[in-house]
Amino acid sequence: MPWTVSATSWHTEVRSRGLLAFRHYLNTCTGSDEFKAIAGDTQRLEADLSWVRYRLHIQGPRIRVNSYDPEPDYSAEAEQTFEKFKQGPVDGYRFEFPSAAQMNHVEAAILDREVQFYVACLEHVERFKSAGLAFCRSEVTSRSKDVFGREIFDLALANKLVREHAAVVASLGSSSRRRGAVSRQ
């Protein structure tokens, strides 16, 4: 399976609270039936697409896609042609990356706080979703400074009402410049 984001793929010991919470979140996501179904579908699609063959003709800004026609392999001829220019063994200039990237204590602390923040945000959003409220990602545009949304609700008020197990009523549709409003588009 190509998915290696679950905590089982972490080969180092994790001690920070933020990374432990993030690992738990990843395990929850990647262990879900929905994720496994998507991963299986993706594998099948990748296998199906691996049989698709085509030829690209790139000329300046134009790209033409044609059906694939097998062409002769000229690599042996090219090697033979350039054989006479060989001057002996070639030094290797490969660079080996260290097997495990190391962070210093400052970078680890920053990463830990960032992960804690994002996990807290996900938990916060999940609390609203459990109450039947919808979330979306914002779309930033240079066309307008207006904020538009459907099913908008005030985060602070919704947080208070959800904690009190009261109903949160989202507006059906509006255009607003209010900060702190969340919408689903």
What does the pLDDT read at residue 50?
83
Joined together, the tokens standing for residue 72 give: 């002769």
| pLDDT for position 180 | 46
Sign of torsion over alpha carbons 28, 131, 146, 185 = positive
Distance, CA of 71 to CA of 54 (rounded, Å): 12
Whole-prediction pTM: 0.38
Q: What is the pLDDT along the chain (185 residues), one digit of tens a residue?
A: 344 455 455 556 778 888 888 888 888 888 899 999 999 999 999 888 888 887 777 777 777 788 888 878 888 888 888 787 777 776 666 767 666 667 666 777 778 888 888 888 888 888 888 888 888 767 767 777 776 677 888 888 988 999 998 988 887 665 545 444 444 44
pLDDT value of position 164: 92
How many whole angstroms separate alpha carbon 168 and alpha carbon 4? 38
pLDDT at 174: 52
**pLDDT for position 147:** 67
Q: In 50-182, which residue ranges form alpha helices assigned H by DSSP?
A: 75-82, 105-130, 155-163
- pLDDT of res. 51: 83
Task: Work out the burial of residue 94: count CB atoms within 10 Å of its CB; fewer than 13 is exposed, 13-18 middle, 19 or more buried.
Answer: exposed
User: What pLDDT shows up at residue 90?
Assistant: 67
Q: How many CB atoms lie within 10 A of CB 119?
A: 19
Contact between 170 and 152 under an 8 Å Cβ cutoff? The reply is yes
Amino acid at 2: P
Tokens representing 140? 């930033």
pLDDT at 11: 58
